[in-house]
Chains A and B, each alone.
Chain A
Amino acid sequence: MIDFDLPFLLAIAKFALVFIPLCLIPICIFMERKGASLMQDRYGPNRANIPLLGGIRLFGFVQNLPDGIKLFTKENFIPRGAHTFWYLLAPMIPLAVALLTPSVIPWFGPMVVEGSRGLATVSGQILDADSGVLVLFALSGLSIYGVVLGAWASNSKYALLGGMRASAQMISYEVSMGLSAAGIFLIVGSFSLTQIVEWQAAHTWGIVVQPVGFVLFLTSLFAETGRAPFDMAEGESEIVAGYFVEYSAIRFGLFYMGEYAHIAIAGALLSTLFLGGYQIPFMDTEAVRANLGFVSGAIVAAVGLSCLGIAYMVRRWARIYSRMQTTDAVDRKREYNILNGAFSVIGLGLLAVAAALMVLVHPAKGGLGAADIWPLWVNLGTAAVQVGTLVVKILAICWIFVWVRWTLPRFRYDQVMALGWKIMLNIALVNLLVTAVVAKLVKG
């Protein structure tokens, strides 16, 4: 007989966090497309709109919708000579891995709640294992199997070449990735990701104690996710499209979404190891719990202010647009009016909510409810604040991925291997050695 007490229910509810990287995929794709276009001095996606909602385009965000519809409704083509079973299985692997990996990432600090059998600690990880980071490395290394399997099963030399390149690159960079992260494990003295984050909250961020490790880890992550400048698995001029050349429709879409989910996971891993994870800068979990009303109010106010900022940008664009002689001036004016109104109302509303949170959420005021549910309220509020913090950090790192992709030219294949084995591995080893000596001297 299972008793549905609070810790058990919370442990079940935590599974919802698995879907966070999935929700970040459209945001990542939007950032990628808009960032790429603006860096290349063009407008980017701005045609797709929703006619029923006054033709809003949301700065190109709506483009995801027709893209998805297109991917879902196109023909699923299986080339002759392909190994049908493996061919169909391969695209599922990267996305399945992307759904599994968030289970070991700590999304919020451990909370102590009262259950039917006394106090129980609910961890921020869905799978609270001491070997958390090893599981994470293992899982994220698994996604290459989808790439290689798909490449091999599609019975195409180009795809096979792409898959082989991807696997060789993966093996090379897994080494320096593990070694560059090993420094932080030495300093913290634990493989548990929650403990790593708690150590960073108590002392200082990992990027401060391991700057070289951070740069190496970030570079390895670029290679691990197969992003430019290490996008060896793809290469229009050399091997047509790479490992997914024979895939069409949603099976290609699964590879595509898996790539962005992988970026989101990489961002979560990087921020957990080096950027304080779910912690707000200069505030540990206790500080957030003590000032929950103020902290949550400040965060909601920041979101509200950014909505007002977006509304300001919309007005600015509307002014610029009205000066241009265009045939769709009426539509654009209507759209900008809708967006301006919506974002202004949302921004002002969020500011009001922020003020309410700051005033109302306080133990002395009784909070929004009776005193007996106040501890639960604090726990959930703190968890929400910390999940939000981690998501913001992940998005910032995703932006860095986009930024670097559209800045750097890609390496040649031999240069990738030379950089991985001859330079990064050596730096990582020296970094690890120095860290070990210093850690031994300091910690005794």
Chain B
Amino acid sequence: MARTVPRPEMTLAEKAYVPEIVKGLKVTMGHFLRGLFTPETLPVQSYPETPSVIPRNYRAKHRLMKRPDGEPRCVACMMCSTACPANCITIQAGESADDRIEKKPVKFEIDLLVCVFCGLCAEACPVDAIRMDTRIVALAADSREKFKVGLKDLMSWEPKDYPDNDTQSQKAPGGLLNAEAKKQWGIS
């Protein structure tokens, strides 16, 4: 049994158009004056001039974490490229110069046009080497090739752009904890 919803009856004033139109005009004029005299209250963001505040846990462009000596933390275990549903990560493993570590990536390439920003690579990484917390969301380039970012690009971040309590980032060269970490690792 269908339920009938009664339509609201219009009053005489509503049927006569004009009083309702005057009400509507009042509303729009209120908005106009508000925008004219208090533009700061408008729910508007002048995008490139006032940058968006993007939370740290937003999945943005990737970065590769660095050891205290500036080498990539990545051990080329291929977990991320295996987990990647879009197959956008290409890794070539090479021998690490450090005796304590077996492998390092010679080539680490992410095709950002193919990436779906699912975050599974960061989840899969056993050594916390790949993160997606750069807050870089405006990706732009003039050719498809330039969207394939390599080791150099992924590691070109500065510890000062990350919070002080982010200990893994601060251990990288230039970070607050770099000297301490170097001593711990036995690197001069």
Query: Would A407 and B49 count as touching, CB distance under 8 A?
Result: no
**Which residues of chain A are near B29, meaning CB under 8 Å?**
39, 403
A55 within 8 Å of B (CB atoms): no
Query: Would A41 and B42 count as touching, CB distance under 8 A?
Result: yes
Stretch at the interface among B30-38, B70-78, B123-131, B167-175: B30-38
A35 within 8 Å of B (CB atoms): yes
Expressed in whole angstroms, the Cα–Cα distance for A35 and B49 within the complex equals 23
Query: Would B24 and A43 count as touching, CB distance under 8 A?
Result: no
**Which residues of chain B are near A42, meaning CB under 8 Å?**
35, 42, 44
Query: Would A35 and B51 count as touching, CB distance under 8 A?
Result: no
A35-B32, A406-B28, A407-B21 given as contacts; is B46 within 8 A of A43 (CB)? yes
**Which residues of chain A are near B49, meaning CB under 8 Å?**
326-328
Residue of A nearest to B23 (CB): A407
Residue of B nearest to A229 (CB): B21
Expressed in whole angstroms, the Cα–Cα distance for A42 and B42 within the complex equals 6
A320 within 8 Å of B (CB atoms): yes
A84 within 8 Å of B (CB atoms): no
Expressed in whole angstroms, the Cα–Cα distance for A83 and B32 within the complex equals 44
Query: Would A320 and B24 count as touching, CB distance under 8 A?
Result: no
A203 within 8 Å of B (CB atoms): no
Query: Would A38 and B46 count as touching, CB distance under 8 A?
Result: no
B25 within 8 Å of A (CB atoms): yes
**Which residues of chain A are near B13, meaning CB under 8 Å?**
none
**Which residues of chain B are near A16, meaning CB under 8 Å?**
none
A42-B44, A323-B40 given as contacts; is B25 within 8 A of A404 (CB)? yes
**Which residues of chain A are near B35, meaning CB under 8 Å?**
37-39, 41-43
Query: Would B48 and A327 count as touching, CB distance under 8 A?
Result: yes
Expressed in whole angstroms, the Cα–Cα distance for A197 and B36 within the complex equals 35
A215 within 8 Å of B (CB atoms): yes
Chain A residues 15 to 42 lying within 8 A of chain B, measured CB to CB, are: 35, 37-42
Query: Would A403 and B28 count as touching, CB distance under 8 A?
Result: yes
Among the interface residues B29, B40, B46, which one has the most CB atoms of the partner chain A within 10 A? B46
Contact of B32 among A39, A324, A325, A328 (CB under 8 A): A39
Chain A residues 237 to 279 lying within 8 A of chain B, measured CB to CB, are: none
Expressed in whole angstroms, the Cα–Cα distance for A407 and B21 within the complex equals 8
Name the distance in Å between A43's Cβ and chain B's nearest Cβ. Answer: 6
Name the distance in Å between A58's Cβ and chain B's nearest Cβ. Answer: 15
Residue of A nearest to B25 (CB): A407
Query: Would A320 and B39 count as touching, CB distance under 8 A?
Result: yes
Expressed in whole angstroms, the Cα–Cα distance for A204 and B34 within the complex equals 36
Among the interface residues B28, B49, B50, which one has the most CB atoms of the partner chain A within 10 A? B28
Additional A-B contact list (9), CB under 8 Å, known A39-B35, A327-B50: A38-B32, A38-B36, A39-B28, A41-B35, A42-B35, A323-B40, A327-B48, A327-B51, A407-B27
16 contacts between A and B (CB under 8 A): A38-B32, A38-B34, A39-B35, A41-B42, A42-B42, A42-B44, A43-B35, A43-B44, A43-B46, A324-B40, A326-B46, A326-B49, A327-B48, A327-B50, A403-B25, A406-B28
Q: Which residues of A contact B (CB under 8 A)?
A: 35, 37-43, 46, 215, 313, 316-317, 320, 323-328, 403-404, 406-408
Query: When A and B form their complex, which 8 residue pairs have the shortest distance between CB atoms, in order from nearest?
Result: A38-B35, A326-B49, A407-B28, A39-B28, A407-B24, A38-B32, A328-B49, A320-B40
